[in-house]
């Protein structure tokens, strides 16, 4: 295990000893960004280290409790495939992923949430799918909840102010309209192109990452996956959903107030709409979307918090 404890502005000679496995191809680097994740982090890390298709794990620790840090140190102490990156503070998900990539030596980057338990063979399936695609490409897998159901976000249609309005207001239930979310649709048997896959379980190649420029660091948390999928497609690339590659995703395990997380999500959506509004009409729609997005996202967060409090009383 390699421990790298530096700030973002520091220079470091990260000489990490690896023990490559025989005939281990392709070389897959898992990039995992954690912030006060809790017990799920240990389970996620363990699932990665038990998968011999993984060449290395880059664990970017944006902030962990002392107990959590000790638990992770014990778990990875004997595995030379791990680089533990600490000392940079909470720099957010997008910047954390880009920072993690700077330490990666693999040919393929698998971005995996710290509360996502990797199903054996899934990383290899993503890589095998991607190697047949022209760069830039992204391949995402199936997110299942603890009961085995497909989670929202695994695969989505294009996001714009109109599709967001249709999806978040429930208008997609009307004839002829569709939600951006596809979790209630039949799961395909083979990989197929989609507009968006989830950053909780997303793979790309080193070449593809360099072509797209990586994640837009103006996104602190949420929506950065929607953005990089869009840029990949705009550059003539492909985004693919692979139903045979999956993780069990807990979701919402970070020890952070739900309202704070949803606020970051709202800021991400607003920035995304403004960023991609090219025409005058597009800019008007982008600003018109702000009120209903605020109600839909932040309002829902408060509703869930209140409901939980009432049920707990």
Number of domains in the chain: 2
The single residue listed with the structure tokens 């107030």 is 257
Measure the CA–CA gap between 187 and 184, rounded to whole angstroms: 9
State pLDDT tens for residues 137-158.
999 999 999 999 999 999 999 9
CA separation for the pair 222, 71 (Å, rounded) = 27
**Where does a domain end: 249, 269, 290?**
249
Instruction: Please answer whether residues 165 and 171 qualify as being in contact, where contact means their C-beta atoms are separated by less than 8 angstroms.
Output: yes
The pTM of this model reads: 0.86
Are 170 and 266 contained in the same domain? no
Same domain? 244 vs 265: no
Q: Are residues 276 and 164 in the same domain?
A: no
Q: Among 249, 274, 292, where does a domain finish?
A: 249
One domain for residues 22 and 127: yes
pLDDT of residue 151: 96
Same-domain status, 238 and 272: no
Domain final position from 225, 249, 273? 249
pLDDT (0 to 100) of residue 19 = 38
Does residue 308 share a domain with residue 174? no
Q: Are residues 274 and 202 both part of a single domain?
A: no
Whether residue 216 sits in one domain with residue 115: yes
Instruction: Tell me what pLDDT residue 171 has.
Output: 85
Q: Are 167 and 270 members of one domain?
A: no
Phi, psi for 10 (deg, rounded to 5) = -85, 155
pLDDT at 161: 86
Please choose, from the candidates 150, 124, 138, the residue with its C-alpha nearest in 3D space to the C-alpha of residue 245.
124
What's the pLDDT tens digit per position in 251-307?
765 656 677 888 888 899 999 999 998 888 878 887 887 777 777 777 666 666 566
Query: 130: domain range?
Result: 2-249
Specify whether 122 is located in the same domain as 41. Answer: yes
Radius of gyration of the chain, Cα coordinates, nearest whole angstrom: 19
Same domain (yes/no): 245, 207:
yes
Listed as ranges, residues in the chain with pLDDT below 70 are: 1-25, 252-257, 299-313
Q: How far apart are CA 27 and CA 123, in angstroms?
A: 10
Give the CATH number for residue 48: 3.90.550.10
Whether 237 and 298 share a structural domain: no
For residue 62, which of 221, 297, 225, 247 has the smallest C-alpha distance?
A: 221
């Amino acid at each position: 295990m390699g421990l790298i404890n530096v700030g973002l502005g520091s220079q470091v000679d990260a000489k990490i000893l690896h023990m490559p496995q025989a005939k281990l191809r392709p070389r897959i680097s898992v990039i995992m960004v954690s912030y006060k994740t809790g017990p799920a982090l240990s389970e996620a890390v363990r699932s990665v280290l038990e998968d011999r298709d993984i060449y290395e794990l880059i664990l970017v620790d944006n902030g962990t409790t002392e107990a959590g840090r000790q638990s992770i140190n014990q778990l990875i102490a004997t595995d030379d495939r791990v680089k533990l990156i600490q000392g940079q503070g909470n720099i957010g998900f997008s910047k954390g992923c880009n920072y993690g990539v700077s330490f990666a030596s693999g040919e393929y980057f698998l971005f995996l949430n710290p509360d996502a338990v990797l199903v054996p063979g899934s990383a290899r399936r993503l890589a095998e799918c991607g190697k047949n695609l022209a760069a830039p490409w992204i391949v995402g897998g199936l997110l299942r909840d603890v009961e085995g159901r497909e989670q929202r976000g695994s695969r989505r249609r294009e996001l714009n102010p109109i599709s967001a309005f249709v999806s978040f207001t429930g208008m997609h239930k009307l004839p002829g309209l569709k939600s951006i979310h596809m979790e209630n649709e039949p799961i395909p048997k083979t990989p197929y192109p989609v507009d968006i896959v989830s950053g909780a379980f997303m793979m790309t190649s080193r070449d593809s990452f360099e072509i797209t420029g990586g994640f837009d660091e103006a996104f602190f948390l949420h929506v950065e996956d929607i953005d990089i999928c869009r840029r990949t497609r705009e550059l003539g690339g492909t985004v693919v959903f692979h139903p045979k590659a999956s993780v069990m995703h807990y979701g919402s395990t970070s020890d952070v107030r739900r309202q704070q997380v949803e606020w970051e999500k709202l800021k991400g959506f607003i920035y995304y709409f403004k960023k991609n509004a090219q025409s005058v009409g597009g800019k008007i729609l982008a600003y018109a979307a702000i009120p209903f997005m605020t109600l839909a996202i932040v309002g829902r967060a408060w509703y869930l918090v209140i409901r939980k409090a009432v049920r707990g009383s």
